[in-house]
Amino acid sequence: MPHDGSGPTTRANWSPYDNNGGTVLAVAGEDYVVCAADTRMSTGYNILTRDYKKIDQMSDKCVLASAGFMADAVTLKKTLKARCTTYEFQNDKPMGCVSFAQMLSNTLYYRRFFPYYTFNIVAGLDAEGKGAVFTYDAVGSYERTNYSCQGSGQGLIMPVLDNQLKTVSPLVLPAQSSATPLSESEAVDLVKDCFATAGERDIYTGDTVEIWIINKDGVRKEYQELKLD
C-alpha cells in the first residue's frame, strides 16, 4: 500500500453516544406502583460494573428509571432533581408524578436535535393515590400506561407483560380502571420472573434487579440476584 495518504486509513473514531444497556420496567396497580431495573452497566461485550443503579427518586412519590447512555441519564436526572427541589421550594409541595412526567417530556423535547439517548419510565402515585406509569421515547413523546418496559430487555419482557396484564380497552364505555388487577405482591413476583427471563437471554441484563415499591405507606426496596454471565 502506498504511504502517500491515498490509501484507506483506519483511525480511532468517536461517537457522542454509547449504549450502556440495561432494562427498566414498571407496573401500576390500583394503590401501588412497582418499578424495577437491573444494575448492569455494559459497553459492547464488556461489563463495566455490576452495581449501576438506574432508578432514582425524584420527589416524594415519584421515581425515574432510565436505560440507554448512562452519562446522558445521569445528567438528565441531576437536572430534573434540581428542578424538583426548586419546585418544592417555590410551591411548598413535592412535585406530583403527573407534573414530573410533563416536565420530563419537555426536557427531552428541548434536546430534540441533540437528544438525550435515554429510555425512560416514570413511576409514581397520582393525586388520587393510584399507581401511574409514564413511558417515553428519547425525544419526549410520552403516554400514561399501566405497565411498560424499556431498554435492552424490552423485546423479551413486553410480550410477557402484554399477556399477563392486558386489561379492559380504554374504548369500553363506561370507562373502567386501567390499573392491573394484580395485588402488590403478585406484581412484584411477576417483575422478578420477567427479569429472570430477560437475564437468561439478554447479555445486557443481569447481576441484580433493584425493585422499588411505592404505596401509601411510602417507598420500599427489594433486591433479587440475577445471573452474572
The contact set with other proteins (CB under 8 A) reads 11-18, 20, 41, 43, 46, 48-49, 51-52, 69-71, 74-75, 87, 90-93, 95-96, 98-99, 101-103, 106, 114, 127
Of residues 126 and 186, the one with the C-beta less far from other proteins = 126
Of residues 118 and 180, the one with the C-beta less far from other proteins = 118
Of residues 82 and 127, the one with the C-beta less far from other proteins = 127
Q: How far apart are the first and last CA of the chain?
A: 42
CB of 142 to other proteins, least distance (A): 11
CB of 106 to other proteins, least distance (A): 6
Of residues 47 and 158, the one with the C-beta less far from other proteins = 47
CB of 22 to other proteins, least distance (A): 12
Q: Which residues contact 207 (CB under 8 A, 6 or more apart)?
A: 38, 39, 40, 47, 50, 51, 225, 226, 228
CB of 2 to other proteins, least distance (A): 17
Of residues 17 and 203, the one with the C-beta less far from other proteins = 17
Q: Strand, helix or coil at 87?
A: helix
DSSP string covering 145-179? ESEEEEETTHHHHHHHHHHHH----TTSSS----S
Cell numbers representing residue 83 in the block: 428542578
Beta-bridge mates of residue 121? 65, 135
Longest distance between any two alpha carbons in the chain, whole Å: 77
CB of 70 to other proteins, least distance (A): 5
Closest to 115 in 3D by CA, of 140, 83, 136:
140
Contact assessment for residue 132 and residue 124, using Cβ atoms and an 8 Å cutoff: yes
Of residues 41 and 156, the one with the C-beta less far from other proteins = 41
- What is the distance between the alpha carbons of residues 217 and 38, in angstroms, rounded to a whole number? 24
CB of 167 to other proteins, least distance (A): 24
